[in-house]
Amino acid sequence: MRPAGAARLPARAGGNALRWLGALLALYLSVPVAAFVVESAAARNRGFSAPGLFGALYVSAATATISTALVALLGVPLAYALARSRGRLGALVGVAVQLPLAIPPLMSGIVLISVLGPDTALGRAAGGRLSETMLGIVLAQSFVAAPFGVVSARAAFAQLDPSLLEHAASLGRRELSRFLRIALPLAGPGIRAGLLLVWLRAFGEYGATVILAYHPYSLPVLTYVEFSSQGIPATRAPTLLALGAAVLIGALGWASRARRAPAGQPTAEVPGPDRPLPPPPAVRARPAPVAFDLDATFGSFHLEVAHRARSPRLAVLGASGSGKSLTLRCLAGFFGPAPGPVRYGDRQVERVPPEDRRLGYVPQGLGLFPHLTVADHLRLGVGSRPELARHWLGALGLEGLEARRPGELSGGQRQRVALAQALARDPELLLLDEPFSALDAAIRAQLRHELRRLQRATGISTVLVTHDAEEAATLADEIVVLHAGTVVQAGPAGWVLAEPASPTVAGLVGVANLHHGTVGSPGEVVAGSLRLAARAAELSPGTPVWWGVRAEHVVVGTGPLAATVLDVLDLGGTTEVVLDAGGVELRSRRAAPSLRPGSEVRVSVEGSSVLVWPRAEPQASPPPDPQPARSRRWWP
């Protein structure tokens, strides 16, 4: 019960006001129609016996249907092209398509008759059949009604996620197939709504029709003729027929939407024990290490990255906004040859369209198509092999889910479907864009190990984009680290993780303790009152530096350093302790869980584990087996 005097919350007031405003418009639109129906029901003479009434109804319904079919056949592809166009020509065509909306229908008829009338060149060439015929009615209706269909379809196509069409291209689907199999079904509700408007607008068209094609009578023209000669009573029947046609078409549209049952709830998924992946059927793929030399600008972002992988398993590591996904999309060929040379193994592919590259591509959003079932997804790729599809359905735990759509799957199941779809084509290269980022930790760990076993079982080449250093180390032998669109370190995974070339790289590969300091005596770094042995013998005393050490290399319980425990985090399998050591905060993962905040402890840090960088970040120095981070010399 609400206490007396308590203020009434205003949260519902805005909603009520909106509902009242909507109700006012609904009343205005429905009351005149209802009043007309009631009055007509009570009238003795409704005009149903007027000659030519049902013939005019047929003319209007038939010509409206033909006009709608023409708009669907010609206008939907035009809308698709306009939605994808970004140039001036597309903008001009878009304006031209909408011009009939701004011209009063009567004036549209005048415009049309000046081109299609019996005295024009086109009219004479057609023998006068472009006016005063059903063809003339179709031409008039199409002119005034087409913009409704094109504008609605264009808006529906514009709402599509472009990555879905890119993903379809990576599956070998060409432009027409992507339009028919992906874009058209996904934009279907908007297109159907637009075509419904086209039919209703064409059915009720009067102004342009009466100018261009007065005969044969359409229902609106007949209504005007009857009104002019006999007044209101004779117009009730055609008006009731028009209302009935509108209700029927609206009901059909509603029924088509109702038949599309909403997706069920995703099934919960509990990680199961690791299971060995069975060997796949014979595959055609051979290890194909990638090589690329990309230099491209996207808006205000400049991407300049190059690498020649020696291993078939490569990871691209970086923070958000570093250019990782752009790099992967360049490798997939979504931007054409402009970004620069790309090779898969010994095959140069920058001028090969994505649909011909034999890719397996798993985009960050997984790229699943909402209207397709699991089985449809595995059949969608051009060249998908049924035996491989069946194998990956079983190997990835998807058996029994073939009839489900993405909305009825859990996150882990959707991830497996995306992998199975990519692998069913026996791809030459598997591109993975943060494939596990949206999953729970347990599911992520399970799928990560499944993917590693898959790599071993198939020998497939993979390029993984990730911001997780552990994921990169698990799934790749080489790592390229990006920052602000450039390579800051590249080489074998172990070297990158153990010898980060800069504080930026160190933060990305999990060095938890990063601080400013200065070089003290040779081989020593100073921060506050903390002095640590470090790998700084080549730097002169007083040099300002960044220094860092992994939490795993800070040992609590023994050592020369005094510290105070600030916090203790129980992480289940390990304990992380936050320390104040000489005014510097250190994190340790080598400590007893019994410690409490405020405890005084001793700490030791191995000097060989303390990394030091001059305050101005250097470029990556090469690993023992030289691997240039940025060089065009190796490209022929």
* Tens digit of each residue's pLDDT (9 = 90 or more) over 5-46: 545 545 555 668 888 888 999 999 899 989 888 888 887 777
Q: Are 287 and 344 in contact (CB under 8 A)?
A: no
Q: What is the pLDDT of residues 315-351, one digit of tens each?
A: 999 999 999 999 999 999 999 999 999 999 889 999 9
598-621: average pLDDT? 79
Greatest mean pLDDT among 282-286, 532-536, 581-585: 581-585
pLDDT at 281: 65
Average pLDDT over residues 50-63: 92
Domain locations along the chain: 41-258, 290-496, 510-614
Going by pLDDT thresholds of 50, 70 and 90, the confidence category of residue 171 is: very high
Q: Please state, for a pLDDT cut of 90, what percent of the chain lies above it.
A: 52
What would the pLDDT profile of 453-466 be if each residue is shown by its tens digit?
888 877 889 999 99
CATH of the structural domain 290-496, one choice from 3.40.50.800, 3.90.1150.10, 3.40.640.10, 3.40.50.300: 3.40.50.300
pLDDT at 317: 95
634: alpha, beta or left? (left if phi > 0; alpha if psi -120 to 50): alpha
Residue 154 neighbours by CB under 8 Å, 6+ apart: 79, 80, 82, 83, 94
The pLDDT of residue 283: 59
296-307 average pLDDT score: 94
Per-residue exposure over 225-241, b if at least 16 CB sit within 10 Å of its own CB, e if not:
bbeeeeeeebbbbbbbb
pLDDT one-digit tens code per residue, 391-412: 888 878 888 899 999 989 888 8
The closest of 220, 534, 237, 174 to 381, measured between CA atoms, is: 174
In this prediction, residue 631 carries a pLDDT of 39
Least confident of 49-63, 157-171, 297-311, 568-582: 568-582
With cut-offs at 50, 70 and 90, classify the pLDDT of residue 628. Answer: very low
Q: How many degrees, rounded to 5, is the angle at CA 305 between CA 357 and CA 460?
A: 40
What pLDDT sits at residue 192? 93
Query: Whole-angstrom Cα distance, residue 247 to residue 253?
Result: 10
Q: Which residues contact 556 (CB under 8 A, 6 or more apart)?
A: 563, 577, 579, 588, 590, 591, 592, 595, 601, 602, 603
- In the DSSP assignment, the letter for residue 179 is I
What's residue 591's pLDDT?
A: 82
Q: What is the mean pLDDT of residues 115-137?
A: 91
Q: Is the pLDDT of residue 373 over 90?
A: yes
d(CA 95, CA 64): 24
Of the candidates 310, 266, 261, 189, the one whose C-alpha atom is nearest the C-alpha of residue 443 is: 266
pLDDT at 1 over 50: no
Look at residues 377, 392, 381, 385 and name the one whose alpha carbon lies nearest to residue 354: 381
Dist CA 522 CA 520 (whole Å)? 6
Q: Look over the chain and give the mean of its residue pLDDT values, rounded to a whole number.
A: 86
Other beta carbons less than 10 A from residue 483's beta carbon:
19
Superfamily in which the 41-258 domain is placed by CATH: MetI-like (1.10.3720.10)
3-state secondary structure of 491: strand
pLDDT digits (tens, 9 = 90+) for 348-361: 999 999 999 988 89
Bond prior to 278 in cis (omega within 30° of 0): no
Average pLDDT over residues 244-252: 86
Percentage of the chain surpassing pLDDT 70?
Answer: 89
Neighbours of 348 (CB within 10 A): 14
pLDDT at 610 over 50: yes
Q: Is 564's pLDDT higher than 60?
A: yes
Q: pLDDT of 106-124, one tens digit each?
A: 999 999 999 999 889 998 9
The pair of three-digit structure tokens given for residue 3, joined into one six-digit string? 């206490």
Main-chain dihedrals φ then ψ at residue 514, nearest 5 degrees: -125, 125
pLDDT at 633: 37
pTM to 2 decimal places: 0.80
Structure tokens at 346: 């010994």
